[in-house]
Amino acid sequence: MPDKLTDLIAELALANRILAHEGVLDAFGHVSVRHPTDPGRYLLSRARSPLLIEPDDILEYTLDSAPVKPPKVHLYAERVIHGCIYQARDDVMAICHHHAPAVMPFCIAGKPIDPVFHLGATMGEHVPFWDQYDEFGDTNLLVVKPEEGQSLARALGNHSVVLMNRHGATVVGSGLKELVSRSIFICQNAEYQLRALALGSATPLHRGEIKLAGTISLMPNVVTRTWEYWSMRLQASGAMPPRRPAKSHRKSRKTRRGR
Ligand SMILES: [Zn+2]
């Protein structure tokens, strides 16, 4: 019988590596997914660069962002982003926080990212901004306090992505495959928008186009196709995560060594 949790943990490790390989995440940034059977918990790696994450790094957290089993490893300082959004949005099943070079000019200039091509429609009609300084004054710009995470979740509202001034972006999805597609398409859109502006103008999609193109671009068959494509690119680079050995397998190896 397939183990839902084990499969999702493997998928989360893969999502981290795909997003790192495609330039959304670098040494920083993180991806989480809501627990498959307990909506009051979520899964997130220990503090580690996303390209290196393995299934064994994945930990379980309550929505207050406390680890269920306190580990002896470092945790992401910004994990409240995940817990606070899961608390605020029942429909959100996966979250990515990143500082991708593609979106940073918009976060710094305070200029909106608009959907300018069909796949960019996956961001939705409007992308709100959140400026940590407005509510919290001088900080190190990391979102570490529950009240900061709650403020960010309020700014996100019912949207799919929120841009964080002078910091990065936080993207949400109804599952890991949708999240990965949306995160990558928003970065592509930001790059295209900037290049088009250099040519003179970047005309956004019309409201009806955003709805139609956004819906079709996130259909299960589409996000499965893109997931396979990005997985194959990751595999070709030799950076696929190891599959976590089954517990029974580990035990038998230990026993063998003991003999
Ligand atoms: Zn950050």
Q: In this structure, what DSSP letter does residue 121 have? A: G
DSSP string, 31-86: EEEE-SS-TTEEEEE-S--GGG--GGGEEEEETTS-BSS--SS---TTTHHHHHHH
Q: Is the pLDDT of residue 1 over 80?
A: no
Q: Which residues fall inside 5 Å of ion ligand 1, going by CB?
A: 168
Q: Considering the entire predicted model, what is its pTM? A: 0.93
User: How many angstroms does the Cα of residue 34 sit away from the middle of ligand 1?
Assistant: 20
Catalytic residue among 11, 22, 60, 78: 78
Q: Is the pLDDT of residue 250 over 60?
A: no
- Summarised one tens digit per residue, pLDDT across range 76-98 is 999 999 999 999 999 999 999 99
Q: Which of 34, 129, 142 is nearest to 78 (CA)?
A: 142
User: How many angstroms does the Cα of residue 170 sit away from the middle of ligand 1?
Assistant: 9
β-bridge partners, 45: 58
Task: Please report the pLDDT score of residue 253 as a whole number.
Answer: 42
Q: Is the pLDDT of residue 255 over 80?
A: no
148 catalytic per annotation: no
Q: Is the pLDDT of residue 39 over 90?
A: yes
Distances (CA, A) of 73 to 43, 52, 67, 70, 98: 15, 15, 11, 9, 22
- Summarised one tens digit per residue, pLDDT across range 125-162 is 999 999 999 999 999 999 999 999 999 999 999 999 99
Task: Please report the pLDDT score of residue 243 as a whole number.
Answer: 80
Q: Is the pLDDT of residue 30 over 50?
A: yes
Task: Please report the pLDDT score of residue 246 as a whole number.
Answer: 47
Is residue 95 within 8 Å of 172, Cβ to Cβ? yes
User: How many angstroms does the Cα of residue 76 sit away from the middle of ligand 1?
Assistant: 10
Distances (CA, A) of 49 to 43, 67, 135, 163, 228: 16, 19, 29, 21, 22
Q: In this structure, what DSSP letter does residue 3 have? A: -
Q: Is the pLDDT of residue 256 over 70?
A: no
Q: Is the pLDDT of residue 254 over 70?
A: no
User: How many angstroms does the Cα of residue 181 sit away from the middle of ligand 1?
Assistant: 20
- Summarised one tens digit per residue, pLDDT across range 158-185 is 999 999 999 999 999 999 999 999 999 9
- Domains of the chain and CATH, by start: 4-258 (3.40.225.10)
Is residue 168 within 8 Å of 103, Cβ to Cβ? yes
The fraction of the chain above a pLDDT of 90, given in percent, is 92
Q: Which of 170, 4, 5, 174 is nearest to 89 (CA)?
A: 174
User: How many angstroms does the Cα of residue 175 sit away from the middle of ligand 1?
Assistant: 21
Task: Please report the pLDDT score of residue 249 as a whole number.
Answer: 41
Residue 2: band (very low, low, confident or very high) from pLDDT cuts 50, 70, 90: low
Name residues whose C-beta falls within 8 Å of residue 231's C-beta, 6 or more positions apart in sequence.
Answer: 14, 18, 240
